[in-house]
Amino acid sequence: MILVTGGAGFIGSNFVLDWLARDSEAIVNLDLLTYAGNLHNLQALEGDSRHIFVRGDIGDADLVTRLLAQHQPRAVINFAAESHVDRSIHGPEEFIQTNIVGTFHLLESVRAYWNALPQAGQADFRFLHVSTDEVYGSLNKDEPAFKETHCYQPNSPYSASKAASDHLVRAYHHTYGLPVLTTNCSNNYGPYHFPEKLIPLVIHNALAGKTLPIYGDGQQIRDWLYVADHCSAIRRVLESGRLGETYNIGGWNEKANLEVVNTLCAMLDELQPRADGKSYAEQITFVKDRPGHDRRYAIDAGKIEKELGWKPAETFATGIRKTVRWYLDNQQWAQDVTSGAYRDWVQRQYVA
């Protein structure tokens, strides 16, 4: 049995689905179901006794303590977070609350549970913290990609809150001996990605005949990784990662935002052409830049490749095609998540 937090969000639900498709080991899935959490993502698991869903907060020490005592997991994987940079700029407080204070309470509950385990259970136990490359800050065009030894220089309330949580996780290993692992991953894309993030937003808006908003000059660079590859890397680190270590995860796929959006438009032109015969690229609109916008992220994933033999299975070309097809086949999913609350967000971010 493992305990996963945030398993109804984008990466967490992909992880839970992948795990249960390959393994008989059960999962307790603790998720608060914020706007970003969606039980529809896990519909395929309905009636599957290996998936135990619990709605709740990682910061609720009584609840987490009870779950740990009841289910005796051999590992906790912490995906739960507020994850959208733009939202952290509009309102940082929830980011501080969940990503820092919530992770602290989770660590405290896990430490008490781990301390009470018999010696063999203590040795086998793992706390895996899922983090981001954004903690390293921004790179110039010619700087080498982030290695695990790169200094932390977070620039947004989101990345600062994730950096703080990484530091707490590290401290619980050094101070209390908690067997922790941390992963720092680049930008994911794939099924169940909430349409506030660039790739699903562009697909969703393109199909709805809306504008495709590009911040600033669109030359900001991100490294893109197909979500199933992130999940396989986490499984690998959980199995064989060295205690207390951090592992960078990335796709070796650096792309400028405008290039990503043009690729999406070309793919949609091919798979679902516009009725008027024009390209979706005509919908591209340059809008006001994100404050403090990081110019470039790039991940050196050499350590996880050398130490643990992990490599991504998808290139950007194969992963993005699968993604576009998934969104075309699952338009109802996008309709369902773009509720009233979603429309309020879009109004605030792009119109107000």
- Decide if 309 contacts 233 (C-beta within 8 A): no
Residue 176 annotated to the active site: no
Q: Measure CA 38 to chain center.
A: 14
- Decide if 299 contacts 186 (C-beta within 8 A): yes
In a 10 Å sphere around its CB, with 0-12 CB exposed, 13-18 middle and 19+ buried, how is residue 115 labelled? exposed
Q: CA-to-CA distance for 336 and 290, rounded, in angstroms?
A: 27
Q: Does 98 bind ligand NAD (CB under 6 A)?
A: yes
Residue 60 annotated to the active site: no
CB of 198 to ligand DAU, least distance (A): 4
| Closer residue to ligand DAU in complex, CB, 144/309 | 144
Element (H, E) at 137: none
Q: Does 283 bind ligand NAD (CB under 6 A)?
A: no
Dihedral of the alpha carbons of 276, 316, 203, 261, in degrees to the nearest 10: -70
Please list every residue from 267 through 296 that binds ligand DAU, using CB under 6 A: 290
Question: Which residues have C-beta within 8 Å of that of residue 264, sequence separation ≥ 6?
Answer: 199, 202, 203, 206, 280, 320, 324
Which pair of structure tokens corresponds to residue 134?
């954004």
Q: Does 246 bind ligand NAD (CB under 6 A)?
A: no
Q: Does 83 bind ligand DAU (CB under 6 A)?
A: yes
Interface mask toward ligand DAU for 134-173; x: CB under 6 A: x---------------------------------------
Q: Does 316 bind ligand NAD (CB under 6 A)?
A: no
Residue range at the interface with ligand NAD (CB under 6 A); choices 5-13, 17-25, 202-210, 296-304: 5-13
Q: Does 102 bind ligand NAD (CB under 6 A)?
A: yes
- Decide if 104 contacts 32 (C-beta within 8 A): no
| Closer residue to ligand DAU in complex, CB, 27/214 | 214
Q: Which does 69 bind (CB under 5 to 8 A by kind): ligand DAU, ligand NAD, none?
A: none
CB of 17 to ligand DAU, least distance (A): 19
CB of 261 to ligand DAU, least distance (A): 8
Residue 158 annotated to the active site: yes
Please list every residue from 193 through 222 that binds ligand NAD, using CB under 6 A: 194
Out of 67, 185, 202, 233, which residue is the one contacting ligand NAD (CB under 6 A)?
A: 185
Which pair of structure tokens corresponds to residue 159?
């990345």
Catalytic residue of the set 113, 136, 158, 297: 158
Q: Which does 85 bind (CB under 5 to 8 A by kind): ligand DAU, ligand NAD, none?
A: ligand DAU
Closest alpha carbon to 156 in 338, 303, 295, 339? 295
Residue range at the interface with ligand DAU (CB under 6 A); choices 14-22, 64-72, 106-114, 209-217: 209-217
Distances (CA, A) of 142 to 12, 158, 237: 33, 25, 30
In a 10 Å sphere around its CB, with 0-12 CB exposed, 13-18 middle and 19+ buried, how is residue 326 labelled? middle
Distances (CA, A) of 331 to 52, 311, 327: 27, 31, 6
Residues known to be catalytic: 133-134, 158
Q: Please report, as ranges, the residues that interact with ligand NAD according to CB under 6 A.
A: 5-6, 8-12, 30-34, 36-37, 57-59, 79-81, 83, 98, 102, 130, 132, 162, 185, 187-188, 194
